Amino acid sequence: MSKAIKPAKANPVANNFELRPDLNQISHWIARGSRVLDLGCGDGALLSWLADNKDVRGYGVEIDVDGVVACISRGVNVIQSNLEVGLAQFEDDSFDYVVLSLTIQAMHNIEGILREMARVGRTGIVTFPNFGYWENRWQILKGRMPVSETIPYDWYNTPNIHFCTVNDFDQLLVKIGMKNTGRVVLANGKRVEFMPNLFGNLALVRFEQQRDALKD
Amino acid sequence: MSDRHSVGIVTPQTAVFDAPIQLASGATLPRFELVYETYGTLNADASNAILICHALSGHHHVAGRHHPDDKAPGWWDTMIGPGKPIDTDRFFVIGVNNLGGCHGSTGPSSIDPETGEPYGSRFPVLLVADWVKTQAMLADRLGIRQFAAIIGGSLGGMQALRWTITYPERIRHALVIASAPKLTAQNIAFNDVARQAIITDPDFHGGDFYRYNTVPRRGLRLARMLGHITYLSDDGMGEKFGRMLRSGEYKFGYDVEFEIESYLRYQGDKFSDAFDANTYLLMTKALDYFDPARHYGGDLAEAMRQAQAKFLVVSFTTDWRFAPDRSREIVKALLDAKKDVSYAEIESAHGHDAFLMEDAPYQALMRGYLLRIADEVNPLPLEARA
């Protein structure tokens, strides 16, 4: 039997795993002991890692039942819910961070969810595939819709409906009265400092509600 | 499921409580008995006990069979047994027939020691809080200081919720399934139609029908038929029965013609032979009265602040008796109270009854959650881990 070589955990999902590069980057931004809401949390990997390594408490929100089951099997609090209807179940300012990772490009109401994130949390963190990445531009130049590591779908079966570039996203934040408080652009998991809108395929943006915008 | 996943043949036990007990209504019972069943083994520090709370017409017989030739096993046999989501290899599981029940626990058909006759109309009205109190007394008797989990569907979910407020230190996890924080006017209306069917049955005799050697069978049957409609979904019913006719053509009369009529009448008859009318009244009334926020200025979050347990709240998409929105009210209160809570909204065609069914995502969810609890309170020895 395998027990002789694999005696480790009764729990089938180990929590001391390595995080996906974008989640790893997010985790650097999250302070120890804080409260985190992870929107579109999938299998709960981020929250599980943060609970074990940074003493973070929080909830995931996920629509897919397999994701919900995976979260629960990991011991991650998860609320099965559709983000498109907003975050009405969460009170104002109830989290330190609200994370939306690789989900925004598949959502209808993007302005709505960003506003909701700023309402329920102090800091919002969004990650998205950068449509301005040079390989995407190259494929378009060749007359095809881009298919890549961060956009792994064909045009006819993609759940992604709202692509943007790093620059586009910045403009949207300004338009809705948010302040960009940090940005990291990655290419294949590595940080890109030079011309990120061209050479990065994945963007992480941290933002907050602008104080004077609150008065409007 | 094969037999190796069944708890097998089980025998109910009776716990006798000989001291008077004061109920939430102010009434007192001089003594009472609770009938219960247990499955699995209580571990050395009594930390692996799970209490299963039953719904309106349920009882203590949750899993396994009383006799090898029993047609059906206990009412939640799909969920409870060796290797099942509520794994009796890991947990010590208790099913109890609530006070006021009609399956052995002291209830309206029991003999009132003061009169030597069945209680009947003299049996006091009960609240969910009374059940929780008597369940705690049973737990004391069994040496269980804290439950690993208390699990219930519908009215059973309300009991689990009440436990977390009344005895916060005695429950680690509450699984509140297809339930609600309180009934709506529509819920109460359904309950009252059911009660009126019973109370206006000429055989009811104001609740003292035992004395007349009769049973208000027609009323109970109607109550159950109405209840049954609300437990199923329109889609589920349509799928199973549609407009199927028993003889294939219209008869232009009032006898059974449609299959759904036949089914409901069969369910009603079966129920009216097996269930006590006064118990039905008591259970529906306990449902109506349940409102844990009442003592907290109507603020459920304030009530839930008392809780120390972690919560799993589950609803089913086609449940219209206790719709997903009702479960979300519980979740909202728990979020506001900053409690550990997970919520799943399971797609099922089975309506309110889905909590008794074997929908695969539901089973996976329960298995996943309960495995975590098992590892928390009753870790497997190293050599047993695969």
Q: What is the pLDDT of residues A187-203, one digit of tens each?
A: 988 899 999 999 999 99
* B89-104 burial: b if 16+ Cβ within 10 Å, else e: ebbbbbbbbbbbbbbb
Q: What's the pLDDT at B342?
A: 98
DSSP class of residue A154 equals -
The more confidently predicted of residues A19 and A213 is A19
B344 strand-pairing partners: B314
- Tell me the shortest Cα–Cα distance from A57 to chain B, in angstroms: 9
Strands (E) in chain B, as ranges, are 13-17, 21-22, 28-29, 32-39, 49-53, 80-81, 86-87, 92-96, 111-112, 117-118, 149-153, 173-177, 310-316, 341-346
Average pLDDT over residues A84-101: 95
DSSP class of residue B318 equals T
**Residue of chain A with shortest Cα separation from B315:** A80
Q: For chain B, what percent of residues have pLDDT higher than 90?
A: 95
Q: Is the pLDDT assigned to residue A17 strictly greater than 80? A: no
**Chain B window 305-324: which residues touch A at a Cβ cutoff of 8 Å?**
312
Q: What's the pLDDT at A109?
A: 94
Q: For chain A, what percent of residues have pLDDT higher than 90?
A: 80
How many residues are listed for chain A in this entry?
216
pLDDT in tens, B241-258: 999 999 989 999 999 999
Distance CA A194, CA B361 (A): 47
Q: What's the pLDDT at B112?
A: 96
**What is the SS3 assignment for B344?**
strand
Q: How confident is the model at residue A10 (pLDDT cuts 50, 70, 90)?
A: very low
Q: What is the DSSP string of B82-111?
A: TTSSEETTT-EEEEEPPTT-SSSSS-TTSE
**Residue of chain B with shortest Cα separation from A5:** B386
Model pTM?
0.94
Tally A–B CB contacts below 8 A. Answer: 74
- Tell me the shortest Cα–Cα distance from B63 to chain A, in angstroms: 24
Average pLDDT over residues B135-149: 98
ipTM of the prediction greater than 0.90, yes or no: yes
Q: How confident is the model at residue B62 (pLDDT cuts 50, 70, 90)?
A: very high
Q: Is the pLDDT assigned to residue B31 strictly greater than 70? A: yes
> Residue B6: what residue type?
S
